[in-house]
Amino acid sequence: MDDNQKSLILKSSSQYPLPQGVKLSYGTAGFRADASILESTVFRVGILAALRSLKTQSLTGLMITASHNKVTDNGVKIADPSGGMLTQEWEPFADAIANSPTPQHFVQLIDEFVKKENIRFDGVRSAKILLGRDTRPSGESLLEAAKQGVYSIVGATAIDMGILTTPQLHWMVRARNKDMKATELDYFEQLSSSFRFLVDLTPNQIKMSKTDDKLIVDGANGVGGEKLEVLKKMLNSMDIEIRNSGKEGGVLNEGVGADYVQKEKVVPQGFQLKDVGIRCASLDGDADRLVYYSVQSNNTSKIDLVDGDKILSLFALFIKEQLSILKMEGDDHVDENYEARLGVVQTAYANGASTDYLRQLGLEVVFTPTGVKYLHEKAAEYDIGIYFEANGHGTILFSESFLTWLNARNNELSSKSKGSEQQKAVLRLLAVSNLINQAVGDALSGLLLVEAILQYKGWSIHNWSELYHDLPSRQLKVKVVDRTAVVTANAETVVVRPPLIQEAINVEVAKYPQGRSFIRPSGTEDVIRVYAEASIQEAADSLANSVAKLADQFLGFGNSG
Binding residues: 67, 284, 286, 288, 389-391, 520-524, 529
Q: Is the dihedral of CA 304, 306, 308, 309 positive or negative?
A: positive
Q: 482: exposed, middle or buried (C-beta count within 10 Å: 0-12, 13-18, 19+)?
A: exposed
Contact (CB, 8 A) for 429 and 409: no
Q: Which entry of 40, 67, 138, 245 is annotated as an active-site residue?
A: 67
Tell which residue, 410, 407, 406, 430, has the closest CA to residue 418: 410
* Phi, psi torsion values for 365, nearest 5 degrees: -115, 125
Half-sphere CA count of 86, side-chain side, radius 13 A: 29
Is residue 67 annotated as a catalytic residue, yes or no? yes
Instruction: Candidates 41-49, 263-271, 367-375, 412-420: pick the segment binding ligand 16G (CB under 6 A).
Output: 367-375
Per rule CB under 6 A, is residue 378 in the interface with ligand 16G? Answer: no
Q: Tell me the C-alpha distance between 211 and 208, whole Å.
A: 8
Q: Which of 266, 354, 307 minimizes the C-alpha distance to 450?
A: 307
241, β-bridge pairs = 216
Neighbouring CB atoms inside 10 A of 155's CB total 16
Q: What is the smallest separation between the CB atom of 371 and ligand 16G, expressed in angstroms?
A: 4
> Which one of 389, 492, 508, 552 is in contact with ligand 16G (CB under 6 A)?
389
The contacts of residue 68 (CB under 8 Å, 6+ apart) are: 220, 253, 257, 258, 259, 260, 284, 285, 286, 289
Binds 286: which of Mg ion, ligand 16G, none (CB < 5-8 Å by kind):
Mg ion
Annotated binding site for Mg(2+): 67, 284, 286, 288
Stretch that binds ligand 16G, among 46-54, 174-182, 273-281, 365-373 (CB under 6 A): 365-373
Which of the listed partners (ligand 16G, Mg ion, none) does 107 bind, with a CB threshold of 5 to 8 Å by partner kind?
none
Does residue 135 interact with Mg ion by CB under 5 A? no
The nearest distance, CB 343 to ligand 16G, in angstroms, is: 18
Is 74 or 152 the residue whose CB approaches ligand 16G more closely? 74
Which residue of 28, 108, 300, 514 would you call a contact of ligand 16G, by CB under 6 A? Answer: 28
What gap in Å lies between CA 300 and CA 114, rounded to an integer? 58
Cβ of 557: how many Cβ atoms within 10 Å? 10
Q: Does 391 bind ligand 16G (CB under 6 A)?
A: yes
Q: Identify what 52 binds: Mg ion, ligand 16G, none; CB under 5 to 8 Å per kind.
A: none
Q: Could you give the angle at which helices 421-435 and 400-416 cross, rounded to 10 degrees? A: 140
In eight-state DSSP terms, residue 85 is B
**Cβ–Cβ < 8 Å for 266, 246:** no
Binding mask 53-92 for ligand 16G (x = CB under 6 A): --------------x-------------------------
Which residue lies nearer to ligand 16G by CB, 378 or 393?
393
Residue 371 in the binding site for ligand 16G (CB under 6 A): yes
Per CB under 5 A, does 552 bind Mg ion? no
Out of Mg ion, ligand 16G, none, what residue 524 binds, judged by CB under 5 to 8 A for its kind, is ligand 16G
Q: In the complex, what is the shortest distance from the CB of residue 244 to Mg ion, in angstroms, rounded to a whole number?
A: 15
Nearest to 170 by CA among 64, 80, 94, 231: 80
Considering only 90-98, 279-287, 311-319, 550-558, which stretch makes contact with Mg ion by CB under 5 A? Answer: 279-287
Q: What is the DSSP letter of 289?
A: -
From the list ligand 16G, Mg ion, none, which binds 284 (C-beta under 5 to 8 Å, kind-based)?
Mg ion
Strand partners, 476: 530
Residue placing its CB nearer to Mg ion in the complex, 288 or 309: 288
Closest approach of ligand 16G to the CB of residue 391, in Å = 5
Which of Mg ion, ligand 16G, none does 371 bind, CB closer than 5 to 8 A by kind? ligand 16G
Helix (H), strand (E) at residue 473: strand 473-478
- Residue of 255, 277, 458, 523 that binds ligand 16G (CB under 6 A): 523
Could you tell which of ligand 16G, Mg ion, none binds residue 389, using a CB distance below 5 to 8 A set by kind? ligand 16G
Q: Which residues lie closer than 8 Å to 120 by C-beta, 6 or more apart?
A: 54
Q: Is 84 exposed, middle or buried (0-12, 13-18, 19+ CB in 10 A)?
A: buried
Among 108, 193, 522, 545, binds ligand 16G (CB under 6 A): 522
- Which entry of ligand 16G, Mg ion, none binds 28, CB below 5 to 8 A by partner kind? ligand 16G
Quick note: the x/- pattern for Mg ion over 46-85, rule CB under 5 A, is ---------------------x------------------
Residues 283-322, mask of contacts with Mg ion (x by CB under 5 A): -x-x-x----------------------------------
Size of the chain, expressed as the number of residues it contains: 561
Q: Is 183 helix (H, G, I), strand (E, B) or coil?
A: coil
Which stretch, 246-254, 294-302, 385-393, 481-489, contacts ligand 16G (CB under 6 A)? Answer: 385-393
Contacts (Cβ under 8 Å, ≥6 apart) of 387: 312, 344, 345, 346, 375, 376, 378, 379, 394, 395, 396, 397, 441
Residue closer to ligand 16G (CB basis): 18 or 480:
480
Smallest gap, in angstroms, from Cβ of residue 29 to Mg ion?
A: 8
> Which of residues 91, 111, 525, 541 is near ligand 16G by CB under 6 A?
525
Handedness of CA 37, 259, 288, 370 (dihedral sign): positive
The residues binding ligand 16G (CB under 6 A) are 28-29, 67, 370-372, 389, 391, 393, 522-525, 529
The residues binding Mg ion (CB under 5 A) are 67, 284, 286, 288
Q: Which residues are catalytic?
A: 67
